[in-house]
Structure 1
Amino acid sequence: MRWLIYVAVAGPSLVLAGIGLSHPQELTADTARWWTNMHIILIPVFPLLAVAQWLLLRGTPAGLPGVLAWGARIAGWIYLGFYGALDTLAGIGTGWLVQNGVHSGGGHHGMAMDRDPVLNRLFEIGNDLGYVGAYAFVAASLLTSAVLVMRAGPKAIAGGVVLVAGSVAFSQWHIYWPRGVASQLAIAIGFALLAWSLDGVRRAVPAAG
């Protein structure tokens, strides 16, 4: 049943990559319905990235690895809350307003002069909160990778490097095609490689860490 671990840790990123292929590049009256519905679909999916890290960290022994593991878990928890706020405000909120007649102007990043000020404000606060969550995810990926390198040795390095690189790209490009989609594919590969690195490693008895 080891394959279930690979599905659990890599599956969410693959789903996000697939959804990202259809992510509208701009919020307009024509794309507003899918923009809204897509971000509703994403509500239960984004948190699974942190769950994947927690699965990889399960059974971490006490001591230094335990401290780092708990840092990774806490960073993942911060990601959960703040990135969810981005999804709700800049995704569902803005899409719903445009569906109900608020002028969308053009674009989705930063301020748009021809866009309703309410949308600008929602994008602004949503992006600010989203960056907190995204950078927390980068921190969680770094700490998770460090713990698994300590636990599994050099065979975990490749997975850690790919995971961190994908996490940094995710922090800048969300899941937009093409870079955001590529970031999710990298995260999926990184998670899978880290899970592979744990194969054959004697599972320690779970402790305070």
Structure 2
Amino acid sequence: MLAWAGCLGYAAYCSGLDAVAGISAGTVDGLGVHGVVGDLFAAGDELGRAGVHALTAAAAATCVVLLRRHGARVLPGAVVVLRACWSFLDSHIFWPRGVFTMLGFAVGFAPPTLAASRGGGDARPARPAGRTLTKS
């Protein structure tokens, strides 16, 4: 649930970042309105930070689940992904650090993705939510 909530938060807040700092600030700047663009970028930065915190929560929760199911082989990727989340807070996608941050995500997601796709470990299916029927 935490991973899903984090994904939802990331999608919502980072979409807000793009709308406020990208679309709105670009439109206002193109119209020649001065003094507002900085405020729009500041609001976008706040939305982006909230989105990255949500992404970090989603990544951490996912790594915990994968660790329980697939063991320590997911730890190197988890460390790299969480480090990339920290770097993403203020680097976004901008050269040079942001580009390396994005590469960190790609490299970091590889071990957990491979572990999950290969199975192995404790591949117990999740228990269904709600009541379970027992034989009496």
Matched, 1:183 2:114: no
SS at match of 1:207: coil
- Distance in 1, Cα, partners of 2:100 & 2:124: 34
- Distance in 2, Cα, partners of 1:89 & 1:130: 10
TM-score where L is the length of structure 2: 0.85
- Misfit runs of 4+, over 6 Å: none
Considering only aligned residues, what root-mean-square deviation do their CA atoms show, in Å?
1.6
Per-residue Cα deviation, 1:8-57 (whole angstroms, up to 9, x for no partner): xxxxxxxxxxxxxxxxxxxxxxxxxxxxxxxxxxxxxxxxxxxxxxxxxx
Name the aligned partner's letter for residue 169 of structure 1: S
User: Which residue does the alignment assign to 2:2?
Assistant: 71
- Contact 2:69–2:124 (8 Å) recurs in 1: no
User: Which residue does the alignment assign to 1:80?
Assistant: 11
Name the aligned partner's letter for residue 17 of structure 2: L
Aligned length: 127
Structure with higher RCO (Cα < 8 A, 6+ apart): 1
Name structure 2 gaps, 5 residues minimum: 130-136
SS at match of 1:175: coil
Matched, 1:137 2:55: yes
Offset of 1:179 from its aligned partner?
0.8
Identity of aligned residues (%): 33
Which structure is higher in helix share?
2
Name structure 1 gaps, 5 residues minimum: 1-69, 103-115
SS at match of 1:205: coil
- Distance in 1, Cα, partners of 2:61 & 2:113: 15
> Which of these residues, 151, 161, 165, is aligned with residue 69 of structure 2?
151
Name the aligned partner's letter for residue 77 of structure 1: L
Question: Equivalences for 1:5-154 in 2 at 5 Å?
Answer: 70-102=1-33, 116-154=34-72
TM-score where L is the length of structure 1: 0.57
